[in-house]
Amino acid sequence: MKVVLFCGGLGTRLREHSDTIPKPLVNVGPRPIIWHLMRYYAHFGHKDFILCLGYRGDLIREYFLNYDECLTNDFTLSDGGTRIELHGRDIADWRITFVDTGLHSNLGERLRRVRPYVEGEPVFLANYSDGLSDLPLDRYIDAFMRSGAVASFISVRPSQSFHAVTSTPDGRVTSLKPVSASDYWVNGGFFCLRQEIFDVLHEGEELVEQPFQRLIEAGRLWTYRHTGFWAAMDTFKDKILLDRMHACEQRPWQLWR
């Protein structure tokens, strides 16, 4: 299946890095987070990618145009440095389509703009480009195919707890209750979509708002509850956590290892 990756956002909550590079190119270990995500999909045999570019899309193009296999594969250097013998390959069998989908487009607009590249695909995959998981993708897709739904996403437990606040209009707090991660589920991305998604996705709409609401009303939106590892790199704190996990070789998303 083809994999559409939304990688054109401004990444404002990761300002420490996104002022100079797009968030998908922020490294986790020696490789950018989008590389980890693409390796995950490739592990399950999905190696035909469509990148929805926007903010600093030129850097994403340059990264793959100048891709260096030596950074993450063993190799032998000989003949005074003029000959390189690679002992492994990362992206040799990948197919990557780069599409400019606009600087300020939302997800729905980006998906509409790549529609010609998924034409003829009864079902295709899509995702944000800043989240990693050990989701059993093959089982998830099989379950989606049986569901009869038009669209699906994974539901995950958020990694943080919060305090829910209620107050009067003038600001007087009437209750302050802890809300633990076990109390609710959130959208974790990893979309499965049928071609019919374009029938309910209208111009200018955000993918997970009006179109998904229409599917809910029609009983055609489905979710897969994933209780394993999932993490999104929204903030600098999230990046530090993923870097530490990588350094300690605690990398549950790297199912290809």
The tens digit of pLDDT for each residue in 205-253 reads: 999 999 999 999 999 999 999 999 999 998 888 999 999 999 999 999 9
Indicate the SS3 state at residue 52: strand
Is residue 234, in this structure, part of any structural domain at all?
Answer: yes
CATH number of domain containing 111: 3.90.550.10
Range of the domain at 43: 2-158+184-247
Is residue 25, in this structure, part of any structural domain at all?
Answer: yes
Count structural domains, the chain. 1
Is residue 77, in this structure, part of any structural domain at all?
Answer: yes
Is residue 174, in this structure, part of any structural domain at all?
Answer: no
Q: Which of 225, 60, 49 is nearest to 133 (CA)?
A: 225
**Least confident span in 67-76, 128-137, 174-183:** 174-183
Is residue 177, in this structure, part of any structural domain at all?
Answer: no
Which residues, 6 or more positions from 177, have their beta carbon under 8 angstroms from its beta carbon?
A: 163, 164
pTM value > 0.85: yes
Residue-level pLDDT at 177 = 80
Is residue 23, in this structure, part of any structural domain at all?
Answer: yes
Dihedral in degrees, nearest 10, Cα atoms 209, 215, 217, 223: -90
Is residue 102, in this structure, part of any structural domain at all?
Answer: yes
144-193 pLDDT per residue, tens: 999 999 999 999 987 766 778 888 888 888 888 877 655 688 899 999 99
Is residue 163, in this structure, part of any structural domain at all?
Answer: no
